[in-house]
Amino acid sequence: MKTISKELEQELRDDLYSLLNNKNVMMVLQSEERKKQIVEDCIKDLRMLPDSSLDPEYWLTYGYIGHIPLADLILDHLTEEEMQTWEYNYVSRYVVPHKQTYAQALQEVKNGKKKTHWMWWIFPQMKGLGKSERSRFYGILNRKQAKLFLEHPILGKNLCEITQAVLDSDKSPYEIFGADVIKFRSCMLLFASLEGAPAVFKRVLSRNRWK
């Protein structure tokens, strides 16, 4: 059986608390015992990893193994009721910054140059692709949660509208976003992969020959 360090246990607890208790997510587990049980269940899973797998210490270093985010391990141990509550409120973290910055973001795209900071919540990408706190906080865990984002009456509408504005611009995404074009491309790849997603995302990929 693998030995799990105290540092690893603490990182898992920190990620659990960030995932479930953030005020913008509104998923709160009232019982400290319940939180402790989830951590113990996750650690038990890690100890059962086959010897041929990556070292569990590395597995939990806020990265990916096979592009599976750490949070998926935690989500696997939520009850159905906990999961439904968490999913229902998942996209709430994006709504406030959208209301505060979307109009400015759209105007900057139409003007052909991004000047302020809003990429993380306007064009979200898979969690783990960025290392900053904002990238980690606003990263999307999987396609199911990307679908929740796209189906949201504010977030989905805004994403489609501003993506269309990129297509309508006489500037390329490289000119509009500069170094942040990597985030934009990652966002397009994610949402284009969703079944039934609006065609605007695939049109961006096709025009720029992105795969």
- Structural domains of the chain ordered from first start: 6-89 (no CATH), 92-208 (1.25.40.380)
Q: Quick one: pLDDT at residue 55?
A: 53
Per-residue pLDDT tens digits for 22-69: 444 434 555 777 777 877 787 777 667 655 454 545 444 443 333 334
pLDDT, average across residues 10-23: 58
Say which residue the tokens 């797998």 belong to.
53
d(CA 104, CA 23): 25
The model's pLDDT over 101-133, given as tens digits with 9 standing for 90+, comes to 999 999 999 999 999 999 999 999 988 777 777
Amino acid symbol at 208: N
Q: Which long-range contacts (CB under 8 A, 24 or more apart) does 156-161 make?
A: 158/98, 158/102, 158/106, 158/122, 159/122, 159/123, 159/191, 160/198, 160/200, 161/106
Contact 115, 165 (CB under 8 A): no
What CA–CA distance (Å, rounded) separates 106 from 112?
10
Average pLDDT, the chain: 78
User: Who has greater pLDDT, 156 or 6?
Assistant: 156
Packing angle between helix 200-208 and helix 181-192, nearest 10 degrees?
Answer: 130
Percent over 70 (pLDDT), the chain: 66
3-class SS of residue 95: helix
Residues in the chain: 211
pTM of the model: 0.63
Phi, psi dihedrals of residue 201, rounded to the nearest 5°: -70, -45
